[in-house]
């Protein structure tokens, strides 16, 4: 784990905000699409250093997004965490290919759509004997912000993870006209409202629209909710 990440923490509040400590950088990024409308990359829009401690809205109603203004109290926000604490490997199903294995935890999907190119990442895995196909599969898996997908070596099980500096990324999705989840990257610890840590991962997405059925993690509900951080 990055030494900086060891000092960083996100605490999920009881029916309240995410309390962030440890001087975690806050970045706003957009999903970039190609001419076919497929998600292909990220574009940084803004970067700030909010300080050692700050509160991020998770009810979706704050007038000071992304920060909490305590609207959750007047709105009666129910932030009950339903995700559980099972490890990623325990929850995953695997798809095998030549020399490669794709782990998949469907309920972590944040609907960022990086997995759609080339007929879908789940189909590309079986064609990974071709170097170009394998490179595309590795790229798609690494771009997934939620960490739903992880490509691993078949023999060792070692995951092919991108190197990501620890930060919190606020996702914007211009193609769909919505704001996406909070992309927590680089191995920052996330602790539930009772003080129990979730598994530390390189990539994970937290709900910020308030509508996820897999709280505190994103399940793509921001799309149906037409959540916009700028309103």
Q: Is 74 contained in some domain?
A: yes
- The 8-class DSSP code of residue 101 comes to E
Range of the domain at 10: 5-84+166-224
Do residues 180 and 129 both lie within one domain? no
Residue 158 lies in a domain: no
193 contacts 204 by C-beta, under 8 angstroms: no
pLDDT of residue 231: 66
Structure tokens at 115: 């997995």
Same domain, 105 and 128: yes
Do both 106 and 36 map to the same domain? no
Residue 107 shares a structural domain with residue 217: no
Predicted pLDDT at 143: 98
Pairing mode of beta strands 93-97, 100-104: antiparallel
Do 227 and 178 contact (CB within 8 A), yes or no? yes
Number of domains in the chain: 2
Which pTM does this prediction carry? 0.96
Residue 2 backbone dihedrals phi, psi, to 5 degrees: -55, 135
Q: Are residues 216 and 146 part of one domain?
A: no
pLDDT tens, the chain, 231 aa long: 577 788 999 999 999 999 999 999 999 999 999 999 999 999 999 999 899 999 999 999 999 999 999 999 999 999 999 999 999 999 999 999 999 999 999 999 999 999 999 999 999 999 999 999 999 999 999 999 999 999 999 989 899 999 999 999 999 999 999 999 999 999 999 999 999 999 999 999 999 999 999 999 999 999 999 999 986
- In 3D, which of 73, 66, 122, 118 has the Cα closest to residue 96? 122
- 27 and 128 share one domain: no
Domain co-membership, 118 together with 11: no
pLDDT at 107: 95
Which tokens go with 106? 């469907």
Which of 153, 179, 203 corresponds to the end of one domain? 153
């Amino acid at each position: 784990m990055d030494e900086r990440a060891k000092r960083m923490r996100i605490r999920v509040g009881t029916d309240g905000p995410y309390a962030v400590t440890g001087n975690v950088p806050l970045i706003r990024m957009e999903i970039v699409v190609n001419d076919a409308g497929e998600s292909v990359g990220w574009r940084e829009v803004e970067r700030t250093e909010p300080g050692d401690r700050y509160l991020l809205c998770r009810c979706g109603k704050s007038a000071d997004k992304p920060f909490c203004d305590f609207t959750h109290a007047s709105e009666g926000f129910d932030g009950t965490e339903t995700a559980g604490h099972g490890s990623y490997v325990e929850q995953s199903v695997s798809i095998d290919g030549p020399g490669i294995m794709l782990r998949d935890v469907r309920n972590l999907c944040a609907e960022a759509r990086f997995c759609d190119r080339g007929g879908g990442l789940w189909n590309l895995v079986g064609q990974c004997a071709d170097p170009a196909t394998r490179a595309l599969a590795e790229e798609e898996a690494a771009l997934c912000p939620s960490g739903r997908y992880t490509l691993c070596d078949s023999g060792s099980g070692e995951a092919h993870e991108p190197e990501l500096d620890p930060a919190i990324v606020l996702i914007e999705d211009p193609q769909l006209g919505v704001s996406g989840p909070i992309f927590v990257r680089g191995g920052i610890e996330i602790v539930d409202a009772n003080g129990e840590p979730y598994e530390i991962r390189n990539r994970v997405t937290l709900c910020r629209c308030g509508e996820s059925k897999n709280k505190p993690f994103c399940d793509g509900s921001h799309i149906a909710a037409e959540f916009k951080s700028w309103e």
